[in-house]
Amino acid sequence: MLVTMATSYNLPTHCLCSLAHIRRHCQHLARFRATHCSSPPPPRGFNNSIPLSTGYFLRRKYDGGRKMALIPSQILRVAILLSYFSILCNYKAIDMPAHQTYGGSWKFLTFIDLVIQAVFFGVCVLTDLSSLLTKGSASMEQERQLKKLIGLRDWMMAVLAFPVGVHTTVLPFIIIEMRTTHHRYPSRSCGLLAVCTFAVGYVVWMCWVHSVTGVWVYPLLEYIGQTARVLFFICLTALISVYYILGEILNNYIWDSLKSSLESDKAKTE
């Protein structure tokens, strides 16, 4: 083709050589782009059936909670942990008369919940770091310690972080954590026993503060009778138990649906 063009336009020989050189250069460039500039294949276990709107850190292989979330999810946990530290510092800096009385901020369930959330996400971050440090290690002791951390993280999520966090504005963070990482819930009886123990413990703590100060933590309790207070405490315990069951159902729904989607996608691929 280059010879025909050179003959048609009466081009000299050195121009023909230049055109041939340009042609070879273009061929080399095309081969280089095809080899080095093509889009990389998706990572193993990458699920294209999950919408892009869920975020890249959600589009990963279902692993039963053993493997940690991808790096963006780990960074998100660190950011949430730092935000809780900031909230707690600002909360303690608020000059409120109730904070100066017996029990301080620990009288209020909101403050206790903030501490629970901070500890929980601290355990999540520690689990992520331990998983990264033990990756590829053949040490059975490190693997055993990591399993303990994962077990503690899952237990705190099921028994404390979700049921107690439902009544405050920290719920979105818990939903994000539940959506990004699979948590193994304990048996229903053990989980409810732990949740009810926490609720009864807080009720006893409120009654103790009242016996010392003569003032109820929540003003509503001042205006209702003894029987109504007992019913209020029973309803509080029952409500937190309902929140536990709700968290268990929601966790199973999210991850059973995702697992079914991945298995269906795998079957189509095979």
Instruction: Give me the amino acid identity at 253.
Output: Y
Q: How far apart are CA 202 and CA 225, in angstroms?
A: 20
Q: What is the arithmetic mean of pLDDT over 149-171?
A: 87
Polymer length in residues for the chain: 270
- Would you tell me the crossing angle of helices 226-269 and 188-213 to the nearest 10 degrees? 150
CA nearest to 239, candidates 109, 136, 117: 109
What pLDDT sits at residue 15?
A: 45
Both structure tokens of 252: 């199973």
Is the pTM higher than 0.95?
Answer: no
Both structure tokens of 173: 């963070």
Q: How far apart are CA 189 and CA 172, in angstroms?
A: 27
Both structure tokens of 133: 């440090």
Torsion of CA 86, 88, 89, 92, to 10 degrees: 160
pLDDT-wise least confident of 12-16, 77-81, 154-158, 161-165: 12-16
Residue bearing the bigger pLDDT, 170 or 115: 115
Q: What digits encode the pLDDT tens for the residues 62-105?
A: 344 444 444 577 888 999 999 889 888 887 777 777 778 888 88
Average pLDDT, the chain: 76
Q: What digits encode the pLDDT tens for the residues 181-215?
A: 888 999 999 999 999 999 999 999 999 999 999 98
Residue 99 is given by DSSP the state G
Q: How far apart are CA 200 and CA 203, in angstroms?
A: 5
Residue 129 has pLDDT above 80, yes or no: yes
CA nearest to 54, candidates 41, 67, 73: 73
Q: How far apart are CA 6 and CA 12, in angstroms?
A: 7
Q: What percent of the chain has pLDDT over 70?
A: 67
CA nearest to 245, candidates 187, 200, 198: 187
Contact 247, 158 (CB under 8 A): yes
Contact 121, 154 (CB under 8 A): no
Residue 6 has pLDDT above 60, yes or no: no
H helix intervals, 56-133: 71-93, 109-133
Q: What digits encode the pLDDT tens for the residues 12-63?
A: 444 444 445 545 645 654 554 455 444 444 444 434 433 333 333 443 443 4
Residue 176 is given by DSSP the state H
Q: How far apart are CA 249 and CA 100, in angstroms?
A: 41
Residue by residue, DSSP assigns 38-73 as SPPPPPTT--TTS-GGG-GGG-S---TTSSPPPHHH
